[in-house]
Structure 1
Amino acid sequence: MPSWSFGDSITRLAADGGVVVQPRMGMSQPDRMRAGLAAVQSAGAVTAGTITVDSYTRVGDHASARAALDGGGSLNGFPIVAHGPAVTRSVVDGIAGPDFPVQVRHGSADPRHVIAAALASGLDATEGGPVSYCLPYSRAPLALATHHWAQACESFAAARTAEFEPHLETFGGCMLGQLCPPALLVALSVLEGLFFRQHGLRSVSFSYAQQTHPEQDAEAALALSRLVAELLPDVQSHLVVYTYMGVFPKSESGALQLIADSALLAVRTGAARLIVKTTAEAFRIPTIEENVTALEYAASAAADVRPLPPPDDTGLYAQARSIVDAVCELSTDIGLALVAGFARGYLDVPYCLHPDNAGRTRGVVDASGRLLWQRIGSLPIGDSADLVTGRQLRSAELLDALSYIERTYDRLELAQ
C-alpha cells in the first residue's frame, strides 16, 4: 500500500496551488491508460489522475470485458477487474503518488469487485454511492444496492492502515446531470456521505455538478459545505465541483466559456477539486490531448477568478437540511433510511425512471436560468419551496429545457 492518501494529497495540493483539476478519462489498453495518466501528470496545472472503468466492468460483466481484451477489441474504459492487479500496478507505478493522486471511477450499483481490484492494485480512492450509482445507471432494487455498497464500504474501510486512508467521493451531487433542483442534489450528497461514514469511511469528498445558474450554483455548493461541517465534522472532507454534466455546447467558444464558469464556481465556493469536461463532449469521447488542453484551460481560468459577493440566500440550505433531517429520522441505519426515504417520497428525483423512484417531482428552468421546483411530490420542503406554476412540460418543452445550457453558451459564439 502507498504511504500517502488521496484525501490528504488533494487537501495539500489545493492549499498550495489552488483548485486541483481532474479529467474523466479511461482507456482499455494499459499502455494507453498509462500514457493518459502521464500526460495529465505533466500538464501545466495542478492535477489528479483518473482511471475510469468500462461499461462491462460497471455492470459486473467481467467475462465479456476479458473476451473483448483477448479479441483485441477496444473498450470505453479500463477494465480494472479483468486486467487484474498486476497490470493496474504497472499502469500507475512511478506515476501515482502524493503529488499526483489517482482515483478509480466506475458507475456501478455493485462496486464490490471494483473496490477489491483497486485495493489490490494499491489505489485508495474511488467514488459513487448507493443512490447515485443505482438510480441513474441500474435497474437493481435500491435496497440491494445499499446492501452491496455497505459491504464495499466496509471492506474499503478495513484496508485502513496508519499510512493508508481509503477515500470515497459521493456522486450524489451529480444526480442525472440536469433538471434536478440543487437542494435535492445537496441533500443526496450529504446523505451518501453519512452512509459512507456509518460504514467506516473517514475520508470523504462531496460533489456538486454545475447546473444552469451561477448564483444558484454558488449558493448550493456553499450550502453543501455548511451541511458537511455541521453533520460530518469528524470526517476529513473536501468539496468537488463538476463541469456541467448535461448536454454540452457544440461551439468551441461556448464549451470553453462553460468550462471557465465551472472553474469560477469551484474557486468561489472553496472547492478543492474540479472535474473538467472538454470541447469535444458534444461529439465523442475526448482524446488525451483534448483532456490536457481542457485541464490547462480550466486551471488558467481558476487562476484569473476575481472576488465576487456572496450569493443571495434563496432557501436552498433550508430545503436541503429539511430533506436530510426527514430522511435521517426514518432510521438510525442510513441505508435503511435511504430506502425508506424513496419509498415515502421524501427523496424523489425528477425525471428518474428507476422503479424505486416515485416520479412525482418535476424541475423546470425559469426565464432567468434558475432550476426550480414545479412539483415537489412528498418532498419535506413544502414550507420553503417556491413552486413555478404551470402545466407539466410536454416532450418538446422538456427537450428544450435539457438543451438550455447548450443553447445559451452556443449563442455566445454567435454574439462575438
Structure 2
Amino acid sequence: MPCVHAGYFQRFIEHARSQGQLVVQPRMGFGAVEQMRAGLSAVSALPCTTLGTITLDSYTRVGDYQSALQCLNTGSPLNGFPIVTHSLQAVQGLLQGLYSAQFPIQIRHGTAQPQAIFKRMAALGLDATEGGPVSYCMPYSRLPLAHAIEAWAESCRILADASAYGHIESFGGCLLGQLCPPSLLVAMSLLEALFFRQHGITSVSLSYAQGTSMAQDLGALRALRELAADYLDGIHWHVVVYTYMGVFPTSEHGARRLICDSARLAKAAGCERLIVKTVAESRQIPSVQDNLDALNMAATAAHEPPSDDNPASTAYYEEVLFEARLLVEQVRNLHNDLAVALMQAFARGLLDIPYCLHPDNPGRATTHIDPYGALRWGNVGDLPLPPSCGLSTTGPGIRSEQLFEMLHYTVNRYDQPLH
C-alpha cells in the first residue's frame, strides 16, 4: 500500500495559523471526474486561504458501490464523488497537479463503516478525512454503535499505518448541532479525538457547529480550545467551525448574514478553519460558483475588524467548560479503552443526544432555546450533570410545535426583512 504524503493537511493548517489566516473550506462533491476536478481547480485558484474538499455520494456512504457504478455507467446524477467506484487510475488523474502541500484535499463522507474509503485514501496518498465512531453513526446510520466503533477503530489503524501524519476531524461538534447544548458538542468532539489518538492518529481537528447565540458559541469555543489543550497535549490539533447546520435561510440577505456571522465567529474565537455553506443551500445542491462566492464572502468577513467582546460569553464559557469536562471525565472513568467506555456511556445514559432516534441512544435528554437565544438543557435524563446546575431530570417533554419552532429559530431570525 503506498505511503500517504507527509502531512500536507497538517502542515497547511499550521502555516495558516502562523500567518493568522482563517482557512475557508467548501463541502462540494460531484460524481464525474471531470466535474470534480474542475471544482477543485476553481477553489485552488481563489485568492483566499482555502483547501480542497471531495464530498462522497450517498451510495458510497452506505457501501452500495453497485448503485454508484450503475449511475456512472448510465450518466445518472450523483450527489457526491464515488471514490471507491471510480478506478484508482481515474482518481489519481483527478488529483494529479492539484493535490499538493499548497492545496491539501480532505475527504468528507458521512460513513459509519468507512474501511473501504480509508483504504482507497491510503492507496491514493490522501491524508485527511473526517467523521467518528459516534458522530457518523448517530443519527446518520442505524448501524449498531458497537459495529461503528469497531469499524472506526480499524479505519484509524489503516490511516495510521499508512502515515504518521494522517488527519481525522471529529464530526462530534455537529451532532444535531442546532438542537444540542454546546457542552455535549464539545465533550463529544473531545471524546472522538481521544478515540482517534488511542488508535494511532496523531493529527486531529475538533468541530463545532454555529448555534443560535453568538455569545454562547464564543464561550463554547473558548472552552473547547482550553479543554483540547489539556486533553490533547503532544499531538497536533486545531478547531474547525461549521456554518449553521440546521434549516438555512431562504432569502439571499439572510443566508449571507448567517455565513458572514459564522466567519466572524471562527475568527473571533481564534479557530483555524471554517466549513462554509452557500447562499443556495436551502434550495439546491450548490454549484461550483455558489461555493466560490461563499468562500470569498466568508474570507472577507473574517478580515473585518473584530467587534467588542460580548461580556455574556464569559458566563457561557464557564458553564460549558464545567459541563463538558464533567461529561468527558465521567466517560473516561468508565474504562481505559474508549471503545468500551463510549458503549457503556450510551448504555447508562451518561451520553444522550437530544432528539436522536438511533436505537442505541437513550433519548431522554431534551433542550430548549431560552429568551436570550441560547441552547439550554430541558431534561437531562441520566446525563451526569449535578442538580446544582438547576437542571431537570423529570420535567415535561417537548411538544411537536415547540420542536418545529426551535428548528426554525435561526432561519426566522435571519430571514427577517432588512431595515
Q: Does 1:57 align with 2:54?
A: no
CA shift, 1:28, in A, is: 0.3
Distance 1:229 1:222 in 2: 11
CA shift, 1:112, in A, is: 0.4
CA shift, 1:136, in A, is: 1.1
Q: SS at the partner of 2:278?
A: coil
Q: Does 1:245 align with 2:248?
A: no
Choose from 30, 44, 47 the match for 2:50: 47
Contact kept? 1:5, 1:124, Cα under 8 Å: yes
> Where in structure 2 are the equivalents of 1:16-415 lying within 5 Å?
16=19, 18-160=21-163, 165-309=165-309, 311-314=313-316, 315-383=319-387, 385-387=389-391, 391-411=396-416, 414-415=417-418
Letter in 1 for 2:400: S
Distance 2:307 2:363 in 1: 40
Distance 2:261 2:415 in 1: 14
Q: SS at the partner of 1:97?
A: coil
> Normalising to structure 1: TM-score of the pair?
0.96
Cα distance change, pair 171–384 in 1 and its aligned pair in 2 (3 A): farther
Letter in 2 for 1:53: L
Residues 81-131 of structure 1: CA deviation (Å, up to 9, x unaligned): 001322212112111111211100000000101111111111100000000
Q: SS at the partner of 1:222?
A: helix
Distance 1:63 1:9 in 2: 36
Distance 1:334 1:384 in 2: 28
Q: Identity of paired residues, percent? A: 49
Distance 1:207 1:360 in 2: 24
Stretches of structure 2 that go unaligned for 5 or more consecutive residues are none
Consecutive aligned runs of 4 or more in structure 1 exceeding 4 Å deviation? none
CA shift, 1:383, in A, is: 4.2
Contact kept? 1:84, 1:117, Cα under 8 Å: no
- Determine the structure 2 residue equivalent to 1:8: 11
Q: SS at the partner of 2:17?
A: helix
Contact kept? 2:177, 2:185, Cα under 8 Å: no
> Normalising to structure 2: TM-score of the pair?
0.95
Letter in 2 for 1:183: S
Residues 223-266 of structure 1: CA deviation (Å, up to 9, x unaligned): 11111110110110111000000000111111111111111110
Letter in 2 for 1:20: V
Cα distance change, pair 396–356 in 1 and its aligned pair in 2 (3 A): same
| 393-402 vs 286-295, which moves further | 393-402
Cα distance change, pair 377–415 in 1 and its aligned pair in 2 (3 A): same
Distance 1:76 1:377 in 2: 37
Distance 1:272 1:384 in 2: 35
Letter in 1 for 2:129: T
Distance 1:270 1:40 in 2: 23
Distance 1:306 1:178 in 2: 25
Contact kept? 2:7, 2:127, Cα under 8 Å: no
Q: SS at the partner of 2:244?
A: coil
Stretches of structure 1 that go unaligned for 5 or more consecutive residues are none
Contact kept? 1:343, 1:356, Cα under 8 Å: yes
Q: SS at the partner of 1:313?
A: helix
Distance 1:84 1:364 in 2: 48
CA shift, 1:14, in A, is: 3.2
Contact kept? 1:263, 1:298, Cα under 8 Å: yes
Cα distance change, pair 89–189 in 1 and its aligned pair in 2 (3 A): same
Letter in 1 for 2:121: A
CA shift, 1:308, in A, is: 3.3
CA shift, 1:15, in A, is: 2.4
Distance 2:20 2:228 in 1: 24
Contact kept? 2:379, 2:395, Cα under 8 Å: no
